Amino acid sequence: MTASRPTCWSCGAALDLDPADPVGRSETCDACDADIRCCRACAFYDEASDNACREPSADRVLEKDRGNFCGWFRLALDRAAPAGVPAAESPADAARRRLEELFKR
């Protein structure tokens, strides 16, 4: 049985992080540069919950996609990629996709 690996909440790329190690506030995804230690990447993140967090003791965080210092943060494993983004997207493909989106007319 293979161990679960974390994936980026933004682009779905595999993260080169050990889930057992702490995640620093400045840690970002190599593929899309999204903050990793943020609500959207946390195992407690749940849009249906109050404050979008299943941990009732967590402080309110307004910017769910920005790095923060929440003491309850736990890196989510195998988070589904956002709609329209393949989970196995390579860093080069992710960069190409972002450039295409940037220059769409």
What are the extents of the domains in the chain? 1-105
- Encode pLDDT of 55-77 as tens digits: 999 999 999 999 999 999 999 88
Sequence-ordered list of residues with C-beta below 8 angstroms from that of 66, at least 6 positions apart, any chain:
35, 38
Report the mean per-residue pLDDT for the chain.
Answer: 83
pTM of the predicted model as reported, rounded to 2 decimal places: 0.70
The separation between the first and the last C-alpha atoms of the chain, rounded to the nearest angstrom, is 46
C-alpha angle 29-93-90 in degrees, rounded to nearest 5: 55
pLDDT attached to residue 89: 55
- Encode pLDDT of 26-51 as tens digits: 999 999 999 999 999 999 999 898 88
Residue 53 DSSP class:
B
Length of the chain: 105
Average pLDDT over residues 4-17: 87
Structure tokens, 55: 């941990």
DSSP alpha helix (H) spans, the chain:
91-102
